[in-house]
Amino acid sequence: MLNCSEADYLKRDRALIAESMKIRFFPILLESSKGCWIRDTQGKEYLDFSASWAVANTGYGHPKVVEAACEQVRKTTMNSHISIPSPVTVELAEKLVGLMPGDFAQKVWFGHSGSEAGDLVAKFLPIAKQRPKIISFEGSYHGQTLGAAALSGHSASERFSGSTLMAKVPYPNPYRYDGDENACCEEHLSNIRRLLSHSDHDYAGLIVEPILSDGGVIVPPDGFLEGLGALCREHDLYYVIDEVKAGFGRTGQLFAFQHSRALPDAVMLGKPMASGIPLSAVVGRAEILDAVPSGHMMTTAGNPVACAVGLATLTVIQQEGLVKRAAKYGARLKEGLQMLAERYPQIGDVRGRGLMIGVELIVPETVAPNPALVAQLCFRAKELGLILFYVGTSSNVIEITPPLIVDEEEIARGIELFEQALADALAGKVSSADLAPYLGW
């Protein structure tokens, strides 16, 4: 039962906070967080396998990250880089450019969110290439501001459309493809090849997630990202990769596209970039980012506090070996979940890279999505002490993205709680009345 204080705050939240900024899976009120754990206002602790939507890659409250924020705040709380540059912002830009492939001139644009980065892509690619259209993918999620929503192919954005002209093509999903992965890859590349078959096509660029994140944690077949790059080069399109959710070590590479030999013209960054302090970036060809001087600027973007924390976050990821850690512990987590799939026919697929894993729940003896069971599982997991969120265009994929500092014991505990929550949900231990206010996606 909720105590009076928590119940009161949740009631006030319902009354005051707009529904337009909510995706709720269960009742909870945050008091504090540390490492891989969060604590509610009743003092109960939860193992967090969401990392606040894959934001807390370095864990909550990493001392080096906290100290970087405090040190910079003591120097200045704010500086608008659009008019007075700050050294720490330049240093972070240099670091980011140094991490990207390509022998062409590159620059950095800074924002606060992945959505703003998506807006830049939607606005600038048509201008830089002098063609009006962009190719993106069904099920993709590039943000919620108008331009970013136009790029997206996720059902959460389908009611919005911007001025950008889009062609949305299917994203390859090996689990739901009747054939091998090579055939899946070639068929989906052929869809794009047909769009570009005329020499006078009017496409400026293509944007893709290296793992379709909110669309269901779908890993494309080998060769797909390279194939997209080859098509873009052949037909003179800009190639943009959205690393907002998958980046900064989560997949067992610093950036998820590095599991392939893809060479993007621009890369979108966000979410974990500053360990939760609002910061995003696009790193890419100077000709794209310079296409419209003063054309996409925000007063507080690239501010020194956020950039100092961004530098500290990168330092922690690199010096503490969190990329290799994500690969190692992600493999163990995936193996444990696959063992559950052998015992529970409701688990149709376990997929992902590193510590970005999707568990797709289905109706047994079919591949029909089972969103009702997913919602029940997440609700029950929270009651047991495990935080899980779900994604997917059919709302039937559990997204598992713990902080990259997660350890062996926490992984074992998470798998144990996941199984118990699934068993309890199947046993009918989640009431429809309790679940009704928490509709998720």
Asked whether residue 441 is domain-assigned, the answer is no
Check whether residue 228 and residue 281 sit in a common domain. yes
CA distance 404 to 291: 37
Check whether residue 35 and residue 86 sit in a common domain. no
Q: Does the structure show a pLDDT above 80 at 214? A: yes
Terminal-to-terminal C-alpha distance of the chain: 25
| Domain end call among 319, 350, 375 | 319
CATH of the domain at 180: 3.40.640.10
Please calculate the CA angle 77-64-67 and round it to the nearest 5 degrees.
35
CA distance 217 to 386: 20
Confidence of residue 141 (pLDDT cuts 50, 70, 90): confident
Please calculate the CA angle 166-171-173 and round it to the nearest 5 degrees.
165
Asked whether residue 35 is domain-assigned, the answer is yes
| Annotation says 141 is catalytic | yes
Whole-number pLDDT of residue 5: 84
| Short-list 266, 281, 271, 264, CA closest to 245 | 271
Task: Please tell me whether residue 311 adopts helix, strand or coil conformation.
Answer: helix
Asked whether residue 198 is domain-assigned, the answer is yes
Q: Does the structure show a pLDDT above 80 at 379? A: yes
Q: How far is CA 47 from the centre of its chain?
A: 20
Mean of per-residue pLDDT scores for the chain:
94
CA distance 330 to 407: 10
Check whether residue 54 and residue 85 sit in a common domain. no
* DSSP codes, 167-190: EEEPPP-GGG-SS-HHHHHHHHHH
Check whether residue 296 and residue 272 sit in a common domain. yes
Check whether residue 9 and residue 56 sit in a common domain. yes
Structural domain of residue 421, as residue ranges? 4-61+321-435
| Neighbour count for residue 187 (Cβ, 10 Å) | 13
* pLDDT tens figures, 255-281: 999 999 999 999 999 999 999 999 999
| Domain end call among 280, 304, 319 | 319
Check whether residue 308 and residue 336 sit in a common domain. no
* pLDDT tens figures, 78-123: 999 999 999 999 999 999 999 999 999 999 999 999 999 999 999 9
| Domain end call among 319, 334, 368 | 319
Helix axes 63-75, 304-319, angle to 10 degrees: 150
Check whether residue 135 and residue 257 sit in a common domain. yes
Asked whether residue 348 is domain-assigned, the answer is yes
Of the residues 46, 141, 171, 390, which is catalytic?
141
Asked whether residue 209 is domain-assigned, the answer is yes
Asked whether residue 363 is domain-assigned, the answer is yes
Helix axes 181-195, 224-234, angle to 10 degrees: 20
Check whether residue 210 and residue 326 sit in a common domain. no
